[in-house]
Homo-oligomer: A and B are copies of this chain.
Amino acid sequence: MATFKLTDEIIEQIEMFIEEKRNRELISLFEEMHYADIAEIINELDVDQAIYIIRLIGKDKTADIITELDEEFRDKIFEKLSAKEIADELIELDTDDAADIISDLPEERKTEIISYIEDVEHAKDIVDLLRYDEDTAGGLMAKELVKVNENWNVLKCVKEMREQAEFVKRVHSIYVVDDNDVLKGRLSLKDLLTTSTRSNVKDIYIPKVDYVYVTDSAEDVAHIMSKYDLEAIPVVDEMKRLVGRITIDDVVDVIKEEAEKDYQLAAGITHDVEADDSIWKLTKARLPWLLIGMFGGLGAASIINGFQDAMNNFPILLIFIPLIQATAGNVGVQSSAIIVQGLANNSIDSQLWGRLLKEFMLGLINGLAIAAIVILVSHFLFEADYMVSTTVAVALVTVIVNAAIIGTFIPIFLHKRGIDPAVATGPFITTSNDVLGILIYFSIAKIVLGF
């Protein structure tokens, strides 16, 4: 399939068409396009141009486009659309998408918009979903699902399903409930294709069904669905009553966002910024971590300043500061990244001591290899005397082992405390290893060289 590629030429052409109000060209251009591609284009326009296009294209398509827009941009567009216009979009959407796109609006505005939705059931479902935190199963689920009563027969099932299916875009599973709406099991579509219409649901349904509670975290839902290869999972309330279902496509976004958040934290960026965000927003996300690094750097400066004797008697020691610091930082990041990733994948059991011992060995091997090279280079390149080379080598090994152990210990410790271990990667671990590394280096120098 030829994938759509957004180019400056497309944007320019569309801007020209809007400018000149060439509606026919615009309509025919968008007709063949996928809504996700149109959303990509609209994200590059200004608010008025975006509204022009949204009003031009038919409602059945714009609703999907709107769900794909950047959130901030969408909110700006919504400011200029009437409550009635927004309501018309919501009517076209599944309840989960409908709830998502208005969740950030002020309460009053939400109420006004929902009052324009004539289908009371749909409105009620949206209002229901707005109650849930977006990071929970409740926030991910949609109300649209196909469910049958355990007391029906297959004939009645099929009849009811046809009606329900009108409102459900994709039928994943048919859930079986009792008279109180409590989830009992599921029917597979395939079974239904191959069973006599006279059978009773009670006799043919599969009682084993995975489910999650509305209050479960989005992350847990993603973990369960990807581990057990589920394409959809029913959501139940505290009384095990069926209240919704989550499909894998919603969870793909959670998995991506989770991985991106961890990556950004490791890179020293508070999560949820993109390259296209404003300079101000990017500064807010980046400056705090730089300040942590800065205080670490000033801490290291104090430590070095405290070793005045070293500076006076062995100035050559100072040229190895970047080496010590870079190595400590790199090892710390490596160790913590592996642990954080293992914890995120639940592939780490918590045998803390065994793991620390392993990191100790690893640090020792890596440290000895690097120290050997450094001794050679510092001898030939910097004509460092024997004792100075020894100091640097011993310090390197110690710093590496120390950084490896800290990089392993802190994420596991945070995880046990219920804190997201990803915050311990990046600048945080680098900074503490930097400062500790410098302290270790000069302390060892003091012992070996005796100044």
Contacts and interface: CB of A to CB of B under 8 A. Distances in A.
A228 interface: yes
A286 interface: yes
Given A283-B362, A302-B381, A268 B162 contact: no
Nearest to A324: B297
A302 B320 CA distance: 9
Contacts of A385: none
Interface in A381-426: 381-382, 400, 425-426
A252 B229 CA distance: 9
Contact of A349 (B8, B212, B305, B331): B8
A273 interface: yes
A69 interface: no
Contact of A1 (B212, B253, B298): B212
A431 B267 contact: no
Contacts of A305: 316, 319, 382
Given A326-B434, A342-B275, A268 B382 contact: no
B269 A337 contact: yes
Given A290-B370, A355-B275, A326 B431 contact: yes
A275 B338 contact: yes
A24 interface: no
A150 to B, nearest CB: 20
Interface stretch (A49-57, A82-90, A187-195): A187-195
B296 A326 contact: yes
A301 interface: yes
Interface string A316-356: 10111111111101110110111101100001110100010
Contacts of A226: 249, 252-253, 256
A206 interface: no
A125 to B, nearest CB: 20
A385 to B, nearest CB: 14
Query: Of residues A165, A327, A329, A358, which shows the largest number of chain B Cβ atoms within 10 Å of its Cβ?
Result: A329
Contact of A347 (B224, B262, B274, B427): B274
Contact of A326 (B223, B297, B330): B297
A171 interface: yes
B294 A323 contact: yes
Interface string A1-21: 101001110000000000000
A291 interface: yes
A259 interface: yes
26 contacts: A1-B212, A3-B224, A158-B193, A231-B248, A248-B249, A259-B260, A264-B338, A266-B337, A268-B333, A274-B341, A275-B342, A275-B348, A286-B362, A286-B366, A287-B369, A290-B327, A290-B334, A298-B323, A301-B319, A301-B322, A301-B378, A302-B319, A312-B315, A326-B329, A326-B430, A330-B430
Given A1-B210, A170-B231, A226-B252, 15 more contacts: A36-B227, A165-B190, A248-B249, A248-B252, A263-B266, A276-B347, A282-B338, A282-B362, A297-B323, A297-B324, A304-B319, A305-B382, A311-B315, A322-B325, A329-B430
Report the 7 A-B pairs with minimum CB-CB distance, sorted nearest first: A297-B323, A259-B259, A267-B337, A300-B322, A275-B342, A301-B319, A304-B319
